[in-house]
Amino acid sequence: MQRLKIYNTLSRKIEEIYPLTDNRITLYSCGPTVYDYTHLGHIRTYINNDILKRTLEYLGYKVIHTMNITDVGHLTDDADFGEDKLEKGAEKHNKTVWEVAEYFTNYFFYTIKQVNIKQPSIICKATEHINQMIDLIKKLEEKGYTYQTSQAVYFDIRKFKDYGKLSGQSLEEKLSAVREEVVLDPEKKHPADFALWFKRTGRFANHTMHWPSPWGDGFPGWHIECSAMSMHYLGETIDIHTGGEDHIPVHHENEIAQSEAATGKPFVRFWVHYAFLLVNGEKMSKSKQNFYTIDDILKQGFHPLALRLHFLSGHYRQQFNFTFKALKATENSYKTLLRKVEELKFINTYLKPDNPSKKDYNLIKKFEQNIIEVLSNDLNTPKALAKFWNLIDLETLNPRLKLELILRLDQILGLRLESIKPVNLTEDLKKLIIERESFKGKKQFDKADNIREMLNDKGFEVKDTKLGTILLSKTTQPN
């Protein structure tokens, strides 16, 4: 069995992934905070995550994938100083926090469906797991990792000796990084201590979402939800945890601290992080007007799967610079690909290609091995795509085996090539093709061209090949 090698942020090395039990891989992905529209940066992150999951499945693993929906507790900065994102979103969009959460959760799922991202097996909302979070905080309290102020319950990071192991940042560095920031809670012992539970008091006195707890009415901090839900659904030690690279220094460091302090076991075996997206060379932001959603892409006439293919052309650990010009070029390649698949389907349905030779079988096997090998080497999608194009362009390959392999590989690429249908060759169309071939045989090219034009007008493109005439629809689109 081919194994997947991937860069583990924790060990800073490319390592081979292997499961702890059977062929089962547990995967947890930090999900969206549902206070605003899902944008291109999220789309790229979750496409990369989808490729990771699909590659593992292709290699024969059963992937148990859990993703959270953050609908409470995520503040506008990572260090507990800001406002609650959901409350802010509610104000901005003139909705209640619950309506905001529902609206943007739906928008998130609508978006990922457009780009054919498989839904996680388990989707869990923070607001539906308050009890699990309270239990985990209680456990940390019993073990002496927490302290209370009048405003919140904090995790005391100095009590966790491994704090900083993911980012490689020492406590001293961390301290100097946060020293300049405003400390809203004067009773906080260390500026980088993070809130496990906010009390409904002071700046949060009017917080809409709140629950009773042993520390008073309030709401959970952001970080605790991922530890609590990950452990609840996947166990105390999971195989892979993924997220954007911006989560490394705070969110994921905090997840490790609170999880490992509570269980005394390693929380995650492989940490995988996806690099940032730039738009026209700049960080995406609304003020720069380079903030795009899937609807902006659709409005400009692009197929959403062309965007998927476009993002696969970059490696997940490298920043990706998005431009509409480059997307246009990828869309042209995507159309070429759809045409090729349609052509192969036509050949296999209506024409009579030769049976594959031993050489064909060997070549196909080699292609498949090569492509899976580069994907298995730290998910090198750009290299895998280059090899995939070589396969597409190789005209001498047996059409049946070639189509089968393309569709097999598309289980990873996710471009919905299976749904491409060949032209429905009706009796009328067949008759026209035979007539045209007979005119050509008699060298009556004008008459043959007339039929070609007639077919063109009906929306078909005529292609002459050694195997016979192929009709292609001019409007091929995947479903």
Binding site for Zn ion (CB under 5 A): 30, 226
Nearest distance from C-beta of residue 227 to Zn ion, angstroms: 8
- 30 or 385: CB nearest Zn ion: 30
- 268 or 374: CB nearest Zn ion: 268
Nearest distance from C-beta of residue 163 to Zn ion, angstroms: 17
Q: Where are the alpha helices (DSSP H) in 264-398?
A: 294-299, 304-312, 324-350, 358-376, 381-393
- 163 or 292: CB nearest Zn ion: 163
Nearest distance from C-beta of residue 126 to Zn ion, angstroms: 10
Nearest distance from C-beta of residue 251 to Zn ion, angstroms: 6
Contact yes or no for 172/188 (Cβ under 8 A):
no
3-state helix vs strand vs coil in the chain, percent to 5: 50, 15, 35
- 271 or 292: CB nearest Zn ion: 271
- 226 or 385: CB nearest Zn ion: 226
Nearest distance from C-beta of residue 44 to Zn ion, angstroms: 18
Nearest distance from C-beta of residue 30 to Zn ion, angstroms: 3
SS3 89: helix
Cα(148)–Cα(127) distance, rounded to whole angstroms?
22
Nearest distance from C-beta of residue 73 to Zn ion, angstroms: 11
Positive or negative CA dihedral for 84, 85, 88, 93?
negative
Of residues 412, 234, 363, 320, the one with CA closest to residue 45: 320
Give the dihedral of Cα atoms 371, 372, 373, 375; nearest 10 deg.
90
Of residues 84, 89, 106, 73, the one with CA closest to residue 35: 89
Nearest distance from C-beta of residue 70 to Zn ion, angstroms: 8
- 30 or 305: CB nearest Zn ion: 30
- 30 or 327: CB nearest Zn ion: 30
Nearest distance from C-beta of residue 377 to Zn ion, angstroms: 27
Instruction: Please tell me what DSSP assigns to residue 249.
Output: I
- 97 or 224: CB nearest Zn ion: 224
Burial of 115 (0-12, 13-18, 19+ CB in 10 A): buried
Which token pair is 158? 């100095």
Torsions phi, psi of 410, nearest 5? Answer: -70, -15
- 56 or 248: CB nearest Zn ion: 248
Torsions phi, psi of 201, nearest 5? Answer: -150, 170
Residue carrying structure tokens 């709401």: 219
Pairing status of strand 282-283 against strand 146-148: unpaired
